[in-house]
Amino acid sequence: MSASTITPTNGAVPAELLRAAQGKPAAPTQRVPMGIRVITGPGTTPAGRTNAASAPAARPPRTLDQLLSLAQGSDNARTRQLAEKITGLVDELTGRLEAELAAVARELAAKEAKLAAELAAVRQKMGTGSVGTAQRAAIRQWAQANGYEVAERGRIPRNVLQAWATATGSEVTR
């Protein structure tokens, strides 16, 4: 079978189909574009090889406070100077972040108060809350006294509300 008689199907490459038909292993999945060579730099090992001498020694992770403490106790003046500078920067950053968080907290508190006021207004308009409850209780009492059938709980029928509003001359808050 020649490569010219194989037609690619489902995006297959003719060379891969030919290799598969001949029973040869598939080409490596990681390809290097033409003209590019893989070169290792100084102090590194070629891919696939391991060198225990070139691997960095494993160090336990250190926190910023631990590093600054070590640097402040250093014999090297430049290291101590950098530790002082970094400590100052960390303090400044902490202060700025705390100020930002306080501003955000104030903003959220203001928004919460505004939303609470809006919710109270909506509840007042809908007739929920203590005033609405008292008014609904009065409407139910009036309806039962005037021969209307009204449940103890739930929605009061519109005709009962209109009759109550007409009879008492008041407005129903809903």
Contacts of 129 (CB under 8 A, 6+ apart): 120, 123
- Region 24-31: what's the mean pLDDT? 66
The pLDDT tens digits of the residues spanning 48-86 come to: 555 555 556 677 778 888 888 889 999 999 999 999 999
| Predicted model pTM | 0.39
> Measuring CA to CA, which residue among 156, 159, 125 is closest to residue 139?
156
The yes-or-no verdict on residue 94 having pLDDT over 60 is yes
Tell how far CA 77 is from the center of its chain: 44
| Predicted pLDDT at 123 | 78
Task: Indicate the average pLDDT of the chain.
Answer: 79
| Structure tokens, 155 | 């929605």
* Percentage of residues of the chain with pLDDT beyond 70: 69
- Region 101-116: what's the mean pLDDT? 95
Band of residue 24 on the pLDDT scale cut at 50, 70, 90: confident
CA dist., res. 174 & res. 150, Å (int): 17
The yes-or-no verdict on residue 31 having pLDDT over 70 is no
| Predicted pLDDT at 147 | 92
- Region 36-40: what's the mean pLDDT? 63
| Predicted pLDDT at 112 | 95
- Region 134-152: what's the mean pLDDT? 89
